[in-house]
Amino acid sequence: MPDTAKMLSGSLPMKSSAMESSASPKAKPGTSAKPYLLTPSEIDSLRQGMHSASEWMRQELRGRRIAGEQKSEKNP
């Protein structure tokens, strides 16, 4: 009698070799190292940089929107 769970899932049976994962011959260098934690001053510096970039982007988008509106008014 066929396996009911396989029939319900609608999947076809696979060869066992296709389901097995192959291990890499050796570990990649640096993958087992612990991540470097940022200092509070580094975190603050990154936040300031992101804030500056965000302000620049808002101004850039505002300028592009205004330029687009002016262009559409000139060319009806």
> Is position 61 within any domain?
yes
Q: Are 46 and 38 in contact (CB under 8 A)?
A: yes
> Is position 17 within any domain?
no
Q: Which tokens is 44 given?
A: 């603050």
> Is position 52 within any domain?
yes
- Quick one: CA torsion of 29, 42, 47, 37, rounded to 10 degrees? 40
> Is position 44 within any domain?
yes
> Is position 29 within any domain?
no
> Is position 31 within any domain?
no
Domain count within the chain: 1
Query: pLDDT tens per residue, the chain (76 residues)?
Result: 455 555 555 555 555 555 566 666 776 666 777 888 999 999 999 999 999 999 999 999 999 999 998 888 887 6
> Is position 49 within any domain?
yes
DSSP secondary structure letters along 17-47: HHHSPPPPSSPPTTTTSPPPPPPHHHHHHHH
Q: Considering the entire predicted model, what is its pTM?
A: 0.48
- Domain housing 66: 38-76
